[in-house]
Amino acid sequence: MAKRQSVTSLDLSPEQERKQRMIRYTIAMGIRTLCIILGVISTGILMWVFFALAIFLPYFAVVLANAQGGKSSKQSDRLAPKVTIKASDMKIDES
């Protein structure tokens, strides 16, 4: 007999996962573009900070976009044994 699948334990569809990754990556690249613009119009140490962020942000954007969120909690749930006890089976020992 096939094991029943719970709706809450299903992973995201590939389309939904791809959409979430694209949104995260687009936001990060928008921040990078803003850092480049701010680096061009600012001076001093702030300019170098903005340019450094613009240089290193693509690496972190790719890592965040490709991160598999939520897998660790679902895997730990699958490893934990499930125990159910009926209320009628419970007894209280008063000795």
48 located within any domain:
yes
Model confidence pTM above 0.75:
no
Is residue 2 situated within a structural domain?
no
Task: Work out the average pLDDT over 70-83.
Answer: 55
- Flag whether 73 is in a domain: yes
Residue 1 covered by a domain: no
CA 66/CA 60 separation, integer angstroms: 10
If one compares 76 and 27, the residue with the highest pLDDT of the two is: 27
Provide the pLDDT for residue 37: 94
75, pLDDT greater than 70: no
Alpha helix ranges (H) inside 42-89: 45-66, 71-79
**Residue 67 lies in domain:** 14-89
Tell whether 7 is covered by a domain.
no
- Cα angle for residues 50, 28, 56 (degrees, 5° grid): 45
pLDDT tens profile 52-70: 999 998 888 788 777 765 5
Distance CA 81, CA 12 (A): 24
Number of domains the chain contains: 1
- 69 in a structural domain: yes
In a domain, 6, yes or no: no
**Confidence (pLDDT) at 72:** 47
Which amino acid appears at position 92 of this protein? I
8 within a domain of the structure (yes/no): no
